[in-house]
Chain A
Amino acid sequence: LAKTTQPISMDSYEGQEVNITCSHNNIATNDYITWYQQFPSQGPRFIIQGYKTKVTNEVASLFIPADRKSSTLSLPRVSLSDTAVYYCLVGDPGSNYQLIWGAGTKLIIKP
Chain B
Amino acid sequence: NAGVTQTPKFRVLKTGQSMTLLCAQDMNHEYMYWYRQDPGMGLRLIHYSVGEGTTAKGEVPDGYNVSRLKKQNFLLGLESAAPSQTSVYFCASSPSGRIYGYTFGSGTRLTVV
Q: Which residues of A contact B (CB under 8 A)?
A: 32, 34, 36, 41-46, 49, 87, 89, 91, 93-104
* Segment of B11-19, B70-78, B104-112 in the binding face: B104-112
In the complex, the answer to whether B97 meets A41 with C-beta atoms within 8 Å is no
Interface size bucket, B side?
20 to 34
- CB-CB contacts of B80-113 with A at 8 A, as 1s and 0s? 0000000000101000111111101111000000
Q: A56–B26 Cα gap in the complex (Å)?
A: 29
In the complex, the answer to whether A104 meets B96 with C-beta atoms within 8 Å is no
Q: Which of B41, B43, B45, B107 has the most CB of A within 10 A?
A: B43
B92: A residues at CB distance < 8 A: 43
B102–chain A nearest beta-carbon distance, Å = 6
Q: What are the 8 closest A-B residue pairs judged by CB atoms, nearest first?
A: A43-B104, A96-B97, A101-B42, A101-B43, A49-B100, A93-B98, A43-B90, A102-B42
In the complex, the answer to whether A98 meets B90 with C-beta atoms within 8 Å is no
B66 at interface by CB-CB < 8 Å: no
In the complex, the answer to whether A96 meets B104 with C-beta atoms within 8 Å is no
B102: A residues at CB distance < 8 A: 36, 44, 46
Q: A96–B104 Cα gap in the complex (Å)?
A: 16
Residue of A nearest to B96 (CB): A96
11 additional contacts (CB under 8 A) given A42-B106, A46-B100, A99-B45: A42-B107, A43-B105, A43-B106, A43-B107, A44-B43, A44-B102, A44-B104, A45-B104, A49-B99, A91-B99, A96-B96
Residue of B nearest to A85 (CB): B42
B43: A residues at CB distance < 8 A: 44, 101
Q: A57–B4 Cα gap in the complex (Å)?
A: 24
